[in-house]
Amino acid sequence: MMLNIENIRAQFPILAQQIHGKNLVYLDNGATTQKPISVINAITNYYKNENSNVHRGVHFLSGLATKKLEKTRNAVKKFIGARYNHEIIFTKGATDSINLVANGYSTLLKKGDEIIISELEHHSNIVPWQICCENCGASLKIIPIKDNGELDMDCFYNMISKNTKIVAISHISNTLGTVNPVEKIISKAHELGAKVLIDGAQATTHVNLNMIDLDADYYVFSAHKMYGPTGVGVLYGKEEALNSLPVYQGGGEMIKDVSFKKTTYAPLPHKFEAGTPNIAGIIALNEAITFVLKLGIENIYNYERELLEYATNEILKIKGVVIYGNSKNKTGIISFNIDGIHPYDIGVIIDKFGVAIRTGHHCTQPLMERFKIPGTARISFAVYNTIEEINICIEAIKKAKSMLV
């Protein structure tokens, strides 16, 4: 199916913005995507017509808010092909989700146990495991990456052992765009009895997800990177995987019975949902899912691949450009540097042309270390981007270069 991009763009009010007197060219989608009007309206509608605290209320609005929140849980379940609604835990973001699991593992693991992550992980999939290791004495093993930005799978196969208790890997690298071979990792890990957490923050709009097929034990993502609101994340876990974790936060909804003698906890999903959730945000996430499903993930992927190929070609025409991440299997992310120029300078200058890209280490400092660079300039696409915008961006980069050298 061909997507009607003009029609899609019309659904995003912010794309009509002017920045420094220029049309906004938003190419920082890896950091956060913009929101379609349906998502924005869901929030407004909630606060104007339905707002109430969820779960325990018997009055109408409370029932309505609860129903809508649970509807999103069901929508997420279907979206990622999970078995049960109670395998979907709402968190405040991918980072929160990973911390919940890593915190649990700090009580499940002991000295001698090993955790495997990779060199291209986002800090959010590194630091929680470092804290976990500090607390329980387990050790952290790192899968190195090859020059083209792919995981060195030979190393992984050598590294994993019976001591490995959990492997935590991003589905798609936020800096390089590499799509990691998570299926292979999961099947090898399971062979050796290790669990697997997949950080899907960059994947939910690019890969058709089916948890039953994928067989990941945990899968995490953030709503704000998939056209949804800020402040909402998802932790998917297999029923038995979630049940094996101790409670994380205490309070509110997550209890069965509280007494000073003995407190018992509610079953999934409530066990992990302490406190009043981001009700408006969760309800709006349902609209984001609807938006993505209407377009079709494959269509989004294919269209972004077109943008990626065009942009890659054009940018490589600029002398001195180096692109980091050259896997054949990558999504719409281009991390680059220009010889002799600091990425910060590029970002600051093209901003004046209305072009928003991200520069810096992208919360992947070890990866920057690996390439011995202070950072990169990163272009990242969403489904509303166009070839024309890429042309504007390339022109801006060329102008920046001519000013800087």
Partner 1 sequence: MKSIDIIQNEIIDDFNMFDDWIQKYEYLIELGKDLPLLNSAYKIEDNLIKGCQSQVWLHAEKKNDTIIFTADSDAIMTKGIIALLIRVLSHHSPQEIAESKLNFIAEIGITDQLSPTRANGLVSMIKQMKIYAVALNN
| Positions 39 through 68 that interact with a copy of itself (CB under 8 A) | 39-40, 43-44, 47-53, 56-62
For residue 390, state whether it binds ligand PLP (rule: CB under 6 A): no
One of 348, 369, 387, 388 touching partner 1 (CB under 8 A) = 348
For residue 77, state whether it binds partner 1 (rule: CB under 8 A): no
What is the Cα–Cα distance from 200 to 258, expressed in whole angstroms? Answer: 35
For residue 258, state whether it binds partner 1 (rule: CB under 8 A): no
For residue 4, state whether it binds ligand PLP (rule: CB under 6 A): no
Contact stretch for ligand PLP (CB under 6 A) within 91-99, 177-185, 242-250, 336-344: 91-99
- By beta-carbon proximity to a copy of itself, the closer residue of 15 and 185 is 15
**Residue 61 binds which entry of ligand PLP, a copy of itself, partner 1, none, CB below 5-8 Å type-dependent:** a copy of itself
Q: From the CB of 323, what's the least distance to a copy of itself, in Å?
A: 20
Tell me how far the alpha carbon of residue 110 is from its chain's centroid: 29
Q: From the CB of 83, what's the least distance to a copy of itself, in Å?
A: 27
Q: From the CB of 268, what's the least distance to partner 1, in Å?
A: 13
For residue 330, state whether it binds ligand PLP (rule: CB under 6 A): no
Site pattern 165..204 for ligand PLP (x: CB under 6 A): -----x---x------------------------x-xx--
One of 60, 112, 251, 388 touching partner 1 (CB under 8 A) = 60
What type of residue sits at position 190? H
Contact stretch for partner 1 (CB under 8 A) within 51-59, 126-134, 282-290, 385-393: 51-59
For residue 212, state whether it binds a copy of itself (rule: CB under 8 A): no
**Annotated catalytic residue, options 132, 133, 136, 363:** 363
Cβ density class 28-41: b for 16+ within 10 Å, e for less: bbbebbbbbebbbe
Site pattern 118..157 for a copy of itself (x: CB under 8 A): ----xxxxxxx-xx--------x-x---------------
Structure tokens at 95: 């980072």
Q: Are 206 and 304 in contact (CB under 8 A)?
A: yes
- Confirm whether 132 is a catalytic residue: no
Q: Describe the crossing of helices 127-136 and 94-108 by its angle, rounded to 10 degrees.
A: 20
- By beta-carbon proximity to partner 1, the closer residue of 233 and 375 is 375
**Residue 369 binds which entry of ligand PLP, partner 1, a copy of itself, none, CB below 5-8 Å type-dependent:** a copy of itself
Q: Are 392 and 26 in contact (CB under 8 A)?
A: no
**Residue 199 binds which entry of a copy of itself, ligand PLP, partner 1, none, CB below 5-8 Å type-dependent:** ligand PLP
SS3 for the chain is CCCCHHHHHHCCHHHHCEECCEECEECECCCCCCCCHHHHHHHHHHHHHHCCCCCCCCCHHHHHHHHHHHHHHHHHHHHHCCCCHHHEEEECCHHHHHHHHHHHHHHHCCCCCEEEEECCCCHHHCHHHHHHHHHHCCEEEEECECCCCCECHHHHHHHCCCCEEEEEEECECCCCCEECCHHHHHHHHHHCCCEEEEECCCCCCCCCCCHHHHCCCEEEEEHHHCCCCCCCEEEEECHHHHHHCCCCCCCHHHEEECCCCCCEECCCCHHHCCCCCCHHHHHHHHHHHHHHHHHCHHHHHHHHHHHHHHHHHHHHCCCCEEEECCCCCECCEEEEEECCCCHHHHHHHHHCCCEECEEECCCCHHHHHHHCCCCEEEEECCCCCCHHHHHHHHHHHHHHHHHHC
- By beta-carbon proximity to ligand PLP, the closer residue of 349 and 377 is 377
Residue 24 CB neighbours (<10 A): 17
**Residue 174 binds which entry of partner 1, ligand PLP, a copy of itself, none, CB below 5-8 Å type-dependent:** ligand PLP
Q: From the CB of 141, what's the least distance to a copy of itself, in Å?
A: 10
For residue 364, state whether it binds partner 1 (rule: CB under 8 A): no
Interacting residue ranges for partner 1, rule: CB under 8 A: 20, 54-58, 60, 62-63, 66-67, 70, 256-257, 341-345, 347-349, 351-352, 359-361, 374-375, 403-404
Interacting residue ranges for ligand PLP, rule: CB under 6 A: 93-95, 122, 124-125, 170, 174, 199, 201-202, 222, 224, 252, 275-276, 363
Which residues carry out catalysis?
A: 363
